[in-house]
Structures are given as structure tokens and as C-alpha cells.
């Protein structure tokens, strides 16, 4: 092609680099693997990194021809050393976006500060309700009417960063943790790539712990 021919914007624009961190089955990773096939999704997964060996998420990455890297946290004497190794691996891929998708490690403040504004997490509750573990159990035991999942920017506070998007479902009388988990995961697989797509297009950003949507402060979380 000579310089006088120009391609349409969508073809010439460079896709943004995504690194996905996992610790388990990687069903959210799979949703991203599918999403990146879509031409409107301006990102490409450059690597998948797990802190656990033999997890199915690594297999999913290999099947999609994405570098699948394992950095076992057990091999590091401190959280800081592990996070340093993790950051070194991540930086090889110059990420524009780092997706925590079931990554079950608390990250050090230095790590989080370093990637602030491009580090997203998904948490299976309607944050700020139920940070931490066993969220479905807590929602059922408390007799909640609604439960859901939240995508948020990661800050030093566990499950406490600025909220971006949520999906919710009505808790039925006969719901168990398992049945609820199934519905929540279905929501996650829609919500997370959708929010990432907005981020990658430049519509969503973080500034001084405030989320902006199309250059205006986000007043209400984005709902699906």
C-alpha cells in the first residue's frame, strides 16, 4: 500500500494492550477472549498471568494463542517480592489496561499506585455492600432483595475503589449460593467487557479517584 492510500480509522488505529490476571477458572477471561474478536472492541489481550498453577484459565489462554504465564506466589517470601515479579512480567506487554478477573491476591499499595487508572476489578456484590469473600451467602442470609456484581477501579482499599458499572439480579426465595453465582457470572460476562470497551475507547477514565464518563464526572454507576 502506498502512502496516498489511507485505511479507515477503525483499521489503522492501534489496539490497546490488555493484560489479564487470574487465579482460577477464567470464565471472565473467556468473555474477554470472545469480546476482543469484535471489531468495536479496541483492545487485544497480550498476556494472561496467574498466581496459581494448573488453573483452567491458563488453558483458555493457550487455546486462544495468548501467552499464558504462571508466577506462583508461594515461591516469593513477601507480598512485595511477588508484586515486583508480577509487575516485571506485566510491563513486558506495555499494558493500557490490566484486568483483574478472579485474581485472588491482595496487591501492595505500591503496585496499585503504579497502575492507578488502568487497573480494573470485578467483585461479585453490589459494592459498597459486601467487600471480601462469601458475598452470595451474605446477601442470602441478610434477606437482600437484590444482589449483583460491580466493576471498579482498583485503589489501595480492598474492593473499595471508585465504582464504574454494576449488574443486578433479584434474589428468589429458592436461590442457593450456586444458583445465584450462576446468574451473577452471566451478568459479569456482559458487564466486564462492556465497561472495558468504554475504557478502551477513552469514554471512561479515573482522575484523583473520581470516575469520568465522556469528560463529565460519573454521577451514577453504569448499569446493565
Residues engaged in binding ligand GRF (CB under 6 A): 22, 24-28, 57, 101-102, 122-124, 149, 185, 188
8 A C-beta contact, residue 18 and residue 44: yes
Q: For the residues of 133-202, what is the DSSP string, one character each?
A: S-HHHHHHHTT-SEEEEEEEE--SSTT-SPEEEEEEEEPPTT--HHHHHHHHHHHHHHHHHHHHHHHHTT
Residue 137 beta carbon to ligand GRF: minimum distance, rounded to whole angstroms: 14
Q: How far is the CB of 102 from ligand GRF (least distance, A)?
A: 3
Which position among 73, 123, 134, 189 bears the catalytic label?
123
Nearer to ligand GRF, 146 or 210 (CB): 146
28 vs 42 by CB, closer to ligand GRF: 28
Least distance to ligand GRF, CB of residue 124, Å: 4
Q: Pseudo-torsion of CA 54, 60, 63, 67, nearest 10°?
A: -70
Does residue 147 carry a catalytic annotation? no
CB of 11 or CB of 171, closer to ligand GRF: 171
What residues are annotated to the active site? 123
Amino acid at each position: 500500500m502506498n502512502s496516498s492510500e489511507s485505511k479507515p480509522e477503525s483499521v489503522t488505529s492501534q489496539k490497546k494492550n490488555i493484560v489479564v490476571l487470574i487465579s482460577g477458572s477464567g470464565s471472565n477471561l473467556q468473555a474477554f477472549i470472545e469480546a476482543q474478536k469484535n471489531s468495536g472492541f479496541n483492545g487485544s489481550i497480550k498476556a494472561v498471568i496467574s498466581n496459581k498453577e494448573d488453573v483452567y484459565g491458563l488453558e483458555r489462554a493457550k487455546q486462544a494463542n495468548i501467552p499464558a504465564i504462571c508466577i506462583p506466589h508461594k515461591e516469593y517470601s513477601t507480598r512485595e517480592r511477588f508484586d515486583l515479579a508480577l509487575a516485571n512480567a506485566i510491563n513486558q506487554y506495555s499494558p493500557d489496561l490490566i484486568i483483574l478477573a478472579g485474581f485472588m491476591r491482595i496487591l501492595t499499595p505500591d503496585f496499585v499506585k503504579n497502575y492507578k487508572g488502568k487497573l480494573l476489578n470485578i467483585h461479585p456484590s453490589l459494592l459498597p455492600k459486601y467487600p471480601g469473600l462469601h458475598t452470595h451467602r451474605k446477601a442470602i442470609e441478610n434477606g437482600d432483595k437484590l444482589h449483583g456484581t460491580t466493576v471498579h477501579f482498583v485503589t489501595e482499599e480492598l474492593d473499595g475503589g471508585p465504582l464504574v458499572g454494576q449488574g443486578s439480579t433479584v434474589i428468589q426465595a429458592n436461590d442457593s449460593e450456586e444458583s445465584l453465582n450462576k446468574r451473577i457470572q452471566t451478568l459479569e460476562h456482559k458487564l466486564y467487557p462492556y465497561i472495558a470497551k468504554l475504557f478502551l475507547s477513552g469514554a471512561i477514565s479515573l482522575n484523583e479517584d473520581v470516575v469520568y464518563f465522556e469528560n463529565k464526572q460519573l454521577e451514577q454507576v453504569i448499569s446493565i
